[in-house]
Amino acid sequence: MKHDFSVSVLRKRLFAVSMAITFLFCFLAARFLYVQVFWQEELLARALDQWTREIPIDAERGLITDRNGVTLADNSTAYTVYARANAVTEKEATAKRLAELLKIDGGRLLEKLNTVKASEITVAKQIEKERIAALAEAALDGVYYSRDNVRKYPKGSLLCQVLGFTSSDGVGASGLEKYYDKYLSGTDGELLFETDLVGVDLQGAVAAYYPAEDGLHIQTTLDYGIQEVVEAALLKTAAEYSPKAASCIVLDPNTFEILAMANYPSYDLNEIPRDDLETLNALSRNRLVSDIYEPGSTFKIVTAAATVQESLNGNPSAYSTKHVFSSSRTRAVDGTTVKCWSNHANGRHSNQTLADALNNSCNPCFTDIALSLGKETFYDYLSAFGFGNTTGLDFSGEALGMLLPRSAVRNCDLARIGFGQTIAVTGLQLACATAAAVNGGYYYTPHLVKKIYASDGYEAVRVTPTLRNRTIGEKASRIVAEMLEGVVRDGSGKKAYIEGYRVGGKTGVFGLTCVIIAMKKRGIMA
């Protein structure tokens, strides 16, 4: 019995040892697998970092041009100088020489060379080519440089809120520079030199070159010539009337391409006030996209378009173009009173048709229209014309506007929405809605970019007009366009009249929404 017990104990011990050995083997095998397969890339990167010195090669940022190829955002070449402390053999002499060549604080640089543990120290940025040539002649141990691309804007303040700017590191910070940064930025390369463990270059080592991939270029829908005219007009307006701000947008109603977009005041993109963030934020904000306001009488274009279409649809509640509105100066709605801006003393507001109401910008008439259409029908048109939603412009920070929910709208609210109060829109929303009222009723997604392409001509992206929805029909749109032409020819928009051209528009307390319906002079279409 004792012998059997000893054998049993021995077997158990042997089994335990075998299991321990098996477990240890499996653990080592698993660890080996992890190191060789799963940890391989990280270990290779660490080894490469230990045994090499990297000189970054910046990718050249893509150009931004107008629709005709005029360069709006370009690059100039500068250099960044680096030092590897472990490879600098004579630190004091090197710091002194760099201070002379680069006009920097030599004492501070020497302190860094003696104390900073990082493999590379950035000595100076944006150094001119002439100083780099002198630095190359000095041939200082442990000092090297790489090319940078400094963003330049040949047109200065032109389109400053649209183009935006880049950070000091060359990353898009606002405007198109930010929105399309992934295309413009490209991919940086590097030049690798073999070193020993302390970072000193190895004699006879061969450098490895990984080229940078330059960014793609962007051709916008903008027209430099039109933009110049628009910005000159804003400056003239500012000089004459001293407004706090002024904005203008020019949109092709057939494609919703943005031809010009300007805001006053502006700033020079080559002299960005980076140290004054409050001023920078105020000047760089594209108010046509990000700010909202009550459109006032310019909104009557939408109300008129809705009633014309509903009348053509056979809606008995809708006012037709032949309807004669009450000549009363006021309307009472839910205990509130809506008044016309005019006192109606001259008789111009008597026996008004819809065209007359647009010419005279008579608020009570548009109150009547909104109430006759009713909340559900009118809100359907507001939605079709894009209000209460973004337009989808390829630009960051677009505002939704402000539109009361259907469930919360009272008759007094509806009455005021009819003539552009109790609703807030962006300048872009109003421009798109106006275009969709006169172009046959087609609402496209507005855009600022036509194509994104490489230097060799390869097109990565081409933007074509995208129909978003229909607002009104062709016939209704033609009627609205003719009435708006009458506003400029005979009504409140006479200052926009151009002899020999057909121009339609609508005035408002915040300015003039002017839509070019057709341009005709001496029988020749332009």
By annotation, the residues acting in catalysis are 297
Q: Among 298, 305, 251, which Cα is nearest to 474's? A: 305
The β-bridge relationship of strands 524-525 and 502-508 is unpaired
Tokens of 130: 């002439």
DSSP 191-229: EEEEB-TTSPBPTTPPPEEE--BPPPEEEES--HHHHHH
Tokens of 292: 């909202």
Reduced to 3 states (helix: H, G, I; strand: E, B; else coil), residue 31 is: helix
Alpha-carbon distance of 472 to 340, in angstroms, equals 28
Cα–Cα distances in angstroms (integers) from residue 246 to residues 3, 230, 242, 448, 511, in the given order: 106, 11, 10, 20, 9
**CB-based contacts of 388: which residues, under 8 Å, 6+ apart?**
382, 400, 401, 402, 403
Backbone angles phi, psi at 325, to 5 degrees: -85, 155
> CA 349, 514, 360 angle in degrees (round to 5)?
5
Q: Which residue has the tokens 């929910």?
A: 405
Alpha-carbon distance of 97 to 100, in angstroms, equals 5
Backbone angles phi, psi at 349, to 5 degrees: -95, 15
Alpha-carbon distance of 422 to 415, in angstroms, equals 9
CA dihedral 389, 487, 474, 446 (to 10 degrees): -30
Half-sphere exposure of 398 (CA within 13 A, CB side): 18
- Report the number of secondary-structure helices (H) and strands (E) in the chain: 17, 20
